[in-house]
Structure 1
Amino acid sequence: MQYQWVLFDADETLFYFDSKGGLGSLLARYNHTMTEQCYSNFQTKNQALWDQYHLGQIDMLTLQQSRFAHFGERFGVAPTVLNSQFQEAMVDNCPPMAGADALLKSLKGRAKLGIISNGFKAMQPGRLAKAGWHDIFDVVITSEEAGIAKPHPDIFHFTFEQMGGKPQKALMVGDNPHADVAGGAGVGLDTCWFNRHGKARPDGITPTFEVSALSDLQALLA
Structure 2
Amino acid sequence: MPSQLELLPPFAYPTTILFDLDDTLFDHANTARATLAMSTAGMAEFQGVDLEVLYQQYSEILEEMHPQVMAGLYTHEDARRLRFQRLLAPYGLGTTASEAAHFAQKHYQHYQHLRRPVAGALPLLEALKPHYQIGVVTNNRTLEQQEKLQQLGMAHLIDALITSEDVGVLKPHPRIYHVALERLQATAAETVMVGDNWTADVVGALEVGIRPLWLNRFGGIKLLPQVEEITSLEPTADVLLSITGQQLIASTGRVVRKPSSPEA
The TM-score bracket by the shorter chain reads 0.7 to 0.9
Provide the residue aligned with 1:219 in structure 2.
Answer: 241
**Partners of 2:213 and 2:127 in 1: how far apart?**
17
Residue 60 of structure 2 corresponds to residue 44 of structure 1:
yes
Q: Post-superposition shift, 1:2?
A: 2.1
Matched, 1:9 2:20: yes
Separation in structure 2 between the aligned mates of residue 206 and residue 63 of structure 1, nearest angstrom: 40
1:125 pairs with 2:146: yes
Q: CA RMSD in A?
A: 3.3
Deviates more, 1:131-140 or 1:82-91: 82-91
Check the 8 A contact 1:13/1:97 in 2, yes or no: yes
Maintained 8 Å contact 1:141/1:159: yes
1:76 maps to: 98
| Matching residue of 2:71 | 59
Aligned to 2:136: 115
Q: Which residue matches 1:103?
A: 124
Residue-by-residue CA offset, 1:12-53 (whole Å, 9 max, x unaligned): 11111122344566789xx97883476554433222223xx2
Gaps of 5+ in 2: 1-11, 89-93, 248-264
Q: Distance in 1 between matches of 2:174 and 2:121?
A: 26
- CA contact under 8 A between 2:69 and 2:75: conserved in structure 1? no
Deviations 1:74-107 (A, max 9, x none): 252896x987876554333331111111211111
Judge which range, 9-18 or 209-218, deviates more. Answer: 209-218
Deviations 1:164-206 (A, max 9, x none): 454540000001111100001111101100112232212x574
Identity %: 27
C-alpha distance in structure 2 between counterparts of 1:117 and 1:83, whole Å: 23
Q: From the superposition, tell whether residues 40 and 132 of structure 1 become closer, same or farther in structure 2 (CA, over 3 Å).
A: closer
Match of 1:138 among 159, 162, 170: 159
Structure 1: unaligned runs, 5 residues or longer: none
The answer to whether the 8 Å contact 2:164/2:176 transfers is yes
Residue in 2 aligned with 1:210? 229
Give the alignment's TM-score, normalised by structure 1.
0.78
Match status 1:182 vs 2:203 = yes
Matched, 1:149 2:170: yes
Q: Distance in 2 between matches of 1:101 and 1:156?
A: 23
Q: Rate the CA distance shift 1:74–1:150 in 2: closer, same or farther, 3 A.
A: same
The answer (yes or no) to whether the contact 2:81–2:97 under 8 Å persists in 1 is no
Q: Which amino acid aligns with 2:23?
A: E
What secondary structure is seen at the aligned counterpart in 2 of 1:6?
A: strand
Structure 1 distance, partners of 2:220, 2:172, is 19
Query: Aligned pair count?
Result: 213
Say if 2:15 and 2:186, in contact at 8 Å, map to a contact too.
no
C-alpha contact 1:211 1:217 (8 A) present in aligned 2:
yes
Deviations 1:110-144 (A, max 9, x none): 11001001122222233222222221000011112
Q: Structure 1 167/95 Cα, relative in aligned 2: closer, same or farther at 3 Å?
A: same
